[in-house]
Amino acid sequence: MASTVGRICASRLLRIGTNTIPRPVQISKYSTIKGWSRGRKALLTTMGVIAGGAGALLFALEKSISAADLELHPPKYPWSHRGYFDSLDHASIRRGYEVYKQVCAACHSMKYVCYRNLVGVSHTEAEAKAEAEDQLIEDGPNDVGEMFKRPGKLSDHFPSPYPNEEAARAANNGAYPPDLTYISPGRHGEEDYIFSILTGYCDPPAGVVLREGQYYNPYFPGGAISMAQALYNEIIEYTDGTPATQSQLAKDVAVFLKWTSEPEHDLRKQMALKVLVIFTFFTLVAVYWKRHKWSTLKTRKLFYQPPKN
Ligand code: HEC
């Protein structure tokens, strides 16, 4: 159809005598290696082979190192947000926040999340305000130059359990409990890793000696982790009545940590959906437009008339 419309609109183009237009001569200097000397060819081939070999070696080393020892790779779990158009499970985010607040917050900070971020995601505004007011936040200095504590506000960040890294290390046998806000993308395996590490504690295999204050976890690089097992069945009670098994707690806190590191997750996928729909439409328009514009050229026939004399 595009070609028909094109022919009607631009049939004038067809009438231009093709043999009156001078034929352009194509000169290609750049896309050929014919002109190269043998030395240059040999040098470039050698460089290519060396670069390829080095890449393959690095890849093999990386693979063999991360598969070495007794370390386990976390398996891939069927997270409900894995699909291209799947949102996070917001009931799970809310439960994960409860786990973080009641268990992990004793050791781990989460200083890049504010209480206002919870509004509309896992809590209503009134609930988030109540959550903030539950915490005492350091503020100041006041008019006599002293720091003071006050109930939290929506604009406050989650309070940290320790004033600084040294205090955190001193309280945890020298190990530093990392800030959890961006831990999920910060580790290979992301939420699979978080889930595995929280549920993977076991006795050390024969021959592995742990130091004081270390525990064995095959998912942790090296196996000896300074965080004691934090989650057990029924260690907390969920406000929505979900049975708080260890794996449920680990799954919910992993989803919560996924959200804190990627709060734009749902919006991003929603946007992708819109972009796909709109771009599909405009691609079709563009294809039609192109065929329309080219139809006069694509459907013409060129004849060569040899000179008469
Ligand atoms: C008793 C204190 C304590 C509690 C409670 C605690 N952790 Fe930890 N966590 C630590 C310490 C200490 C480390 C550092 C371990 C190390 O480097 O060996 C750590 C490390 C981690 C790591 C990083 C592991 C890595 O690959 O570097 C993650 C993830 C983590 N904790 C998640 C959690 C979650 C989720 C919770 C709550 C369910 C939690 N932790 C509760 C003390 C704690």
Under 8 Å between Cβ of 37 and 45: no
∠ CA(193), CA(271), CA(253), 5° rounding? 25
- Is the CA virtual torsion 57, 58, 63, 66 positive or negative? positive
Please, what sign has the CA dihedral across residues 95, 98, 103, 109?
A: positive
Residue 62: predicted pLDDT: 77
The rounded Å distance from CA 70 to ligand 1 centre is 20
Closest ligand 1 atom to residue 173 Cα is: 12
Given a contact cutoff of 8 angstroms between Cβ atoms, the answer to whether 271 and 277 are in contact is no
Tokens of 140: 């100041």
Distance 132 CA to ligand 1 centre (A): 23
Pocket test for ligand 1, best of 108, 113, 179, 195 (most atoms within 8 A of CB): 108
Q: Where are the alpha helices (DSSP H) in the chain?
A: 2-9, 11-15, 38-66, 90-102, 125-133, 165-171, 190-199, 246-261, 265-298
The three-class DSSP label of residue 105 is: helix
- pLDDT range class, residue 14, cuts 50, 70, 90: very low
The C-alpha atoms of residue 125 and residue 114 are separated, in whole angstroms, by 13
Q: How confident is the model at residue 258 (pLDDT cuts 50, 70, 90)?
A: very high
Average pLDDT over residues 49-53: 97
Least confident of 12-21, 192-201, 265-274: 12-21
227 belongs to an annotated ligand binding site: yes
Q: Per-residue pLDDT tens for 15-30?
A: 444 555 555 666 665 6
Radius of gyration of the chain (CA): 32
Q: Which two tokens stand for residue 53?
A: 């070999």
Please give the distance of CA 180 from its chain centroid, rounded to a whole number.
Answer: 15
- C-alpha 121 chain-centroid distance: 19
Residue with tokens 């903030």: 132
Instruction: Mark residue 234 as left, alpha or beta (left: phi above 0; alpha: psi -120 to 50; beta: remaining).
Output: left
pLDDT in tens, 103-129: 999 999 999 999 999 999 999 999 999
Mutate to test the pocket of ligand 1, among 100, 107, 229 (most ligand atoms within 8 A of CB): 107
Q: What average pLDDT does the segment 38-63 reach?
A: 92
Pairing of the two strands 148-151 and 136-139: antiparallel
- Whether 5 has a pLDDT exceeding 70, the answer reads no
Check residue 35 and give its pLDDT. Answer: 78
Instruction: Report the first-to-last Cα separation within the chain, whole angstroms.
Output: 43
At residue 138, what are phi and psi to the nearest 5 degrees?
-80, 135
d(C-alpha 184, C-alpha 260), whole Å: 9
pLDDT digits (tens, 9 = 90+) for 135-187: 999 998 999 999 999 999 999 999 999 999 999 999 999 999 999 999 999 99
CB-based pocket (< 6 A), ligand 1: 99, 103-104, 106-108, 172, 175, 177-178, 183, 187, 194, 197-198, 220, 225-228, 230-231, 253
Residue 178 CA to ligand 1 centre (angstroms)? 7
108 known ligand binder: yes
Say what percent of the chain tops pLDDT 90: 75
Measured in angstroms, how far is the CA atom of residue 5 from the centroid of ligand 1? 68
197, 227, 251: which to mutate for ligand 1, most atoms within 8 A of CB? 227
107 assigned ligand-binding residue: yes
Which residue owns the Cα nearest ligand 1 atom 15? 226
Are 243 and 96 spatial neighbours (Cβ–Cβ below 8 Å)?
no
Model confidence at 72: pLDDT above 90? no
With cut-offs at 50, 70 and 90, classify the pLDDT of residue 58. Answer: very high
Name which residue sits closest to atom 40 of ligand 1, judged by CA: 104
Cα 108 to middle of ligand 1, angstroms = 7
Q: How high is the pLDDT of residue 30?
A: 64
